[in-house]
Amino acid sequence: MPCISLSVTAGIYHRRRRDLSRFLLSVQSPLKHQVEILDWETKKQLCFLDKVEPNATIREIRLMFHKLYPRWYPARQSIKLDPKGKSLRDEEILQHLPVGTTATLYFKDLGPQIGWTTVFLIEYTGPLFIYFLFYFRMTFVYGLDERFTSSPHPVVNLACICHSFHYIKRLIETVFVHRFSRGTMPLRKIVKNCFYYWGFAAWLAYYINHPLYTPPSYGKKQINFAVIMFLLCEAGNFSIHVALSDLRRNGSKTRKIPYPTKNPFTWLFFFVSCPNYTYEVGTWISFTIMTQCVPVGLFTLLCFIQMTIWAKDKHCTYLREFKDYPSHRTPIIPFLL
């Protein structure tokens, strides 16, 4: 009898010890989350994800949602905390968001997407070839008159070289330099972007290569000054793109503060947040001076307005994300704007 009692006691002891271990493990382990995803417009529940790890990222939640709705692939999803708020970033972690163990998120369909590399290749290839249609005086543009087959002004040839160089540089940067924090953009936007780039390329090319085109008022001095300014701005723009690319050389999507490097063209970072836009505007100002053409001037003005909007937005993002961001920097024009 004593032997039987001892074995029973030992069994009870081991069972209680096992139960205690399981209890301690459950206490130490973080609670699983429940994620409810609603339509941002109708507030209708689309799915309910149970037992989601607290350290799950928004990217992982997108993938879970994609399994339930295959047509809404991750790049097409906008996941928000508030229906009218901003989209959550892929790297944000569920337990760091202002939600409890049951999180309510809102989904918005961004529509069909297209990769940024493809977008830029389409946008920049168009102006390159459209310009040539006017430069080579295609018969359907200016007519069949032999006087319209060539231009007596050297600046017309120079303008074609500079315009082509600009877009070839952009294509090379797209393939070999740029690193995109966002992988895609809505497909519907590419129509608007192409209309802008391609349309303006045709408009300015038509006037620069027109048989009645007149060269700049100050002749070679004006042209030479503009060419030097053009080349400096192109070199500066390329240098800034390389510097920004180096911030994400390891493939990271984490935003970092850009600082000047040993390259003198990057020293503009001392004064502005987006010197790539500053140099880009400078490129088109120099092209306007070179050609002295009204459509080019209008295109330059619109470029400046749009890039100022982009620069201000990025500048505000830097200020919001980095408490130690240099306070003396302005978005696009040193000390002014």
* Residue 258 CB contacts under 8 Å (≥ 6 apart), including other chains: 243, 244, 247, 269
Q: What is the mean pLDDT of residues 17-28?
A: 49
Higher pLDDT, 163 or 5: 163
Confidence (pLDDT) at 149: 58
What is the rounded CA–CA span in Å between residue 314 and residue 324?
16
Count how many Cα atoms sit within 13 Å of the Cα of residue 44 in the half-sphere of its side chain: 3
Percent share of the chain, pLDDT over 90: 61
pLDDT above 60: residue 28: no
Confidence (pLDDT) at 27: 43
pLDDT above 70: residue 145: no
pLDDT tens digit string along 34-85? 899 999 989 999 999 988 888 899 999 999 999 999 999 998 999 999 988 8
User: What 3-state class would DSSP assign to 169?
Assistant: helix
Pick left, alpha or beta for residue 100 (phi over 0 → left; psi -120 to 50 → alpha; otherwise beta): beta
What is the rounded CA–CA span in Å between residue 116 and residue 127?
17
Structural domains in the chain, sorted by start? 33-111 (3.10.20.90), 115-321 (no CATH)
pLDDT tens digit string along 278-318? 999 999 999 999 999 999 999 999 999 999 999 999 999 99
> Which two structure tokens, joined as six digits, stand for 186?
């809505």
Q: Which one, of 157, 168, 335, lies nearest residue 238 by Cα?
A: 168
pLDDT tens digit string along 243-257? 999 887 766 667 789
Kindly list the strands in the beta sheet with 45-52, ordered across the sheet, starting from the edge strand earlier in the chain: 45-52, 33-39, 102-109, 77-80
Q: Which one, of 176, 193, 185, lies nearest residue 127 by Cα?
A: 193
pLDDT tens digit string along 201-241? 999 999 999 888 899 999 999 999 999 999 999 999 999 99
* Size of the chain, expressed as the number of residues it contains: 337
159 falls in which pLDDT band (50, 70, 90)? Answer: very high
Higher pLDDT, 144 or 281: 281
Confidence (pLDDT) at 8: 47
Q: Whole-prediction pTM value?
A: 0.80
